[in-house]
Amino acid sequence: MLDSLRRPCCSIAPPDLLAWLASQGDQHERDAAIQSLATSAAMRSRRAVLGHFSRELNQNIGLIGLVSLTQQGVTVYDNQTNGRNFLPGVKKRAVGDPVAIDPAVNEAFDGSSATATFYRDVLGRNSLDNAGMELVSSVHYGVGFDNAFWDGSQMVYGDGSGRIFQLGALTRAVDVIGHELTHGVTEFTAGLVYSKQSGALNESFSDVFGSLVKQYSLQQTATEANWLIGEGTLVTKLGLALRSMKSPGTAFSGDRQPAHMKDYVDLPDDNNPANDNGGVHINSGIPNRAFYLAAIALGGSAWEQAGKIWYNALTTKMGQHTQFAEAAQFTIDSAGELFGTTEQAAVRSAWTEVGVLT
């Protein structure tokens, strides 16, 4: 079977964190983690099939009959806590509509719009598929669902249970929205297989562009940004954020992200969520820090040079099974193509510092 038909749903919550809470948390944390793991698993085949059609067959996913495309660009629905059989739900806001009463609707709308604006104005990309694909979101998915994910055709947001994620936090975090929508960009371009190193790159590119959407929205330079992903989304007891691109392994209690290849976590890709599809959320810390180092070395706003270099590598050079060392060379090549030898040297130094290159 094709690799694209075997990959799971890409969700913002690290499954190893959920697995740890399911076994080691208090009763409330266990219940919330088990619910999130079970619900996320139920979406896996849906996303995998849609990803296959959208990339391998060059078939616009909106025409498969799951979500109808319009010319309005961004649309938000209310799932009304009914789950996957009621996706997308009841339409609440589209382009040109007044601000909704529901804050979650407006946050999802604004975050999707900010992501589309970033890709259009900074990278010259026309939505996720580069052909004007409608950005569809559903809020209030399930009951107290502790996750948000791109399911292969749309964004889905849980409200959080207040036991893992803070109530309403997932739609408030524009970097979480940018992260998940970038999984759609990756599906339409490199199609990085969601396993081991290629899967860690898949996660890392989503962190990179999720962070850049946030930085661009705030007009922050690379040195001004804090490089945290999902800051303030977890309950205070668990930690500050979901990931730190600057200092992998420091974001939350039990954060296992390495910052260097010497600490790479070699895990099996099996059905155990603790193994995180071979460590895709865990080992993404290595390429994440490489991007951070490159952005700091290049200076200014990270989207101006580093972001364009990484985007060029993702969309023109990488394939389904690209590994860390190949990704490093592709970004070095892209730096030379887009800018020059000084920029190439900065990118090479970043990958060397994290041990991917020697």
**What is the band of 213 on the pLDDT scale with cuts at 50, 70, 90?**
very high
Residues 162 and 36 both lie in one domain: yes
Mean pLDDT of the chain: 90
The DSSP-derived string for 68-129 is ---SSSEEEEE-TT--GGG-S-EEEEETTSPPPSSHHHHHHHHHHHHHHHHHHHHH---TTT
List the domain range (segments joined by +) for residue 134: 3-188
Q: Last residue of a domain, which of 188, 206, 223?
A: 188
| Selected catalytic residue, list 140, 179, 183, 281 | 281
End-to-end CA distance of the chain: 36
Residues 44 and 170 both lie in one domain: yes
205: helix, strand or coil: helix
Residues 57 and 204 both lie in one domain: no
Rounded-to-integer distance, Cα 226 and Cα 199, Å? 24
Residues 155 and 212 both lie in one domain: no
Residues 224 and 149 both lie in one domain: no
| Selected catalytic residue, list 107, 180, 187, 231 | 180
Which of 9-18, 183-192, 200-209, 271-280 is predicted least confidently? 9-18
- Whether residue 281 lies inside any domain: the answer is yes
What's the token pair of residue 74?
A: 């961004």
Residues 27 and 62 both lie in one domain: yes
- Percent of the chain exceeding pLDDT 70 equals 88
Digit-coded pLDDT (tens) for 9-39: 578 888 888 887 888 888 988 888 888 887 7
187 in active site: no
- Tell me which amino acid residue 108 is: A
Q: What is the CATH number of the domain that holds 328?
A: 1.10.390.10
Contact 155, 148 (CB under 8 A): yes
Residues 251 and 298 both lie in one domain: yes
Residues 200 and 175 both lie in one domain: no
Whole-prediction pTM value?
A: 0.90
Q: Last residue of a domain, which of 188, 207, 231?
A: 188
The DSSP-derived string for 216-245 is HHHT--TTT---EESTTTB-TTTBS-SEES
281 in active site: yes
Q: Last residue of a domain, which of 167, 188, 209?
A: 188
201: helix, strand or coil: helix
Calculate the CA dihedral of residues 62, 64, 68, 72 and round it to 10 degrees: 20
Residues 264 and 297 both lie in one domain: yes
- Whether residue 358 lies inside any domain: the answer is no
Could you count the other beta carbons within 10 Å of the beta carbon of residue 27? 8
Total count of domains within the chain: 2
